[in-house]
């Protein structure tokens, strides 16, 4: 696909706006390229997760104390990993899992520390089927490029919902991928209070916190995907 459209790697924002590596393609070709990428995801992805938080909603001394200093990014990383763990449990996955994240986030070093903790702990590594982890550039990984599409589309769809607009057709098409799951924190202030009530107050260690599953329940979502919301 990359060779066909003359691009070094896929970046959803560049594809949507026709800049960067996509500046030589007209709109019709960019739509065609994205359609090809989505079809590849539909054919090869087992499951997808998107985690959205209002920036700063997980801050505050009470949350930081009970959740060992996790910021928005670390909480999102853990939530995705917990749902991968959930998938492995549902499907009786017998093997290991490698966790890769796009390099460059400001909290990457803290996230790396979290992954190292899981890797070095017998109970945590078994629970998360941990085999390896890494932070890699988007252009070096097709899997990270696929995740970029979901991340961009999820963010765009949340904005459209707030404006009362319907989902984009390409987002609906993406949700037809097998077992696609999205996780949206709804951004209400009492979300943090709910998390603290449910998961704190017991002076739990970080290991005990990481062994817990996110408090999510499934409801029917758009297309063939399943939308998972934190139950408030």
Residues 157 and 76 grouped into a single domain:
yes
Q: What DSSP line would sit under 101-118, residue for residue?
A: EETT-TTHHHHHHHHHHH
Q: Are 79 and 51 in contact (CB under 8 A)?
A: yes
- Check: CB of residue 209 under 8 Å from CB of residue 68: yes
Instruction: Give every CB contact of residue 31 below 8 A, 6+ residues apart in sequence.
Output: none
Contact predicate 102/66, CB 8 Å: no
Please check whether residues 59 and 161 belong to one and the same domain: yes
Between CA 56 and CA 76 the distance in angstroms is 12
Instruction: Examine the domain organization and report whether 20 and 117 are in the same domain.
Output: no
Give yes or no: residues 36 and 124 share one domain.
Answer: no
Residues 90 and 16 in one domain: no
Give pLDDT, residue 7.
Answer: 96
Model pLDDT, residue 55: 66
Tell me the pLDDT of the chain (232 aa) as tens digits.
999 999 999 999 999 999 999 999 999 999 999 999 999 998 888 888 877 766 666 665 444 444 556 677 887 888 788 888 888 888 899 999 999 999 999 989 888 988 998 999 898 899 899 999 999 999 999 999 999 998 899 888 888 888 999 989 998 888 887 655 555 544 444 444 444 444 444 555 656 656 665 444 333 333 334 443 333 2
Domain containing 113 equals 48-230
What number of residues does the chain have?
232
Q: How many domains does the chain have?
A: 2
pTM here is 0.77
Domain identity same for 154 and 61 = yes
Whether residue 139 sits in one domain with residue 32: no
Q: Are residues 28 and 127 in the same domain?
A: no
Q: Are residues 29 and 137 in the same domain?
A: no
Verify that 120 and 210 share a domain, yes or no.
yes
Q: Do 33 and 53 have their domain in common?
A: no
Same domain for 102 and 146? yes
């Amino acid at each position: 696909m990359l060779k066909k459209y003359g691009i070094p790697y896929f970046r959803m924002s560049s594809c949507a706006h026709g800049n960067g590596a996509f500046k030589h393609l007209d709109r019709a070709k960019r739509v065609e390229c994205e359609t090809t990428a989505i079809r590849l995801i539909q054919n090869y992805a087992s499951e997808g997760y998107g985690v959205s938080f209002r920036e700063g909603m997980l801050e505050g001394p009470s949350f930081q104390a009970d959740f060992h200093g996790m910021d928005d990014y670390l909480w999102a990383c853990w939530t995705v990993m917990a749902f991968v763990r959930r998938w492995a449990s549902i499907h009786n996955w017998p093997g290991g899992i490698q966790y890769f994240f796009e390099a460059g986030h400001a909290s990457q070093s803290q996230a790396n520390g979290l992954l190292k903790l899981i890797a070095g702990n017998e109970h945590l590594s078994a629970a998360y089927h941990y085999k390896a982890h890494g932070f890699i550039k988007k252009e070096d990984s097709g899997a990270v490029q696929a995740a970029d599409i979901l991340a961009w589309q999820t963010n765009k769809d949340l904005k459209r919902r707030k404006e009362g607009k319907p989902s984009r057709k390409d987002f609906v098409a993406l949700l037809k991928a097998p077992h696609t799951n999205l996780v949206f924190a709804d951004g209400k202030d009492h979300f943090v209070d709910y998390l603290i009530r449910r998961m704190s107050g017991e002076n739990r260690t970080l290991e005990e916190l990481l062994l817990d599953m996110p408090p999510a329940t499934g409801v029917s979502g758009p297309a063939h995907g399943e939308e998972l919301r934190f139950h408030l």
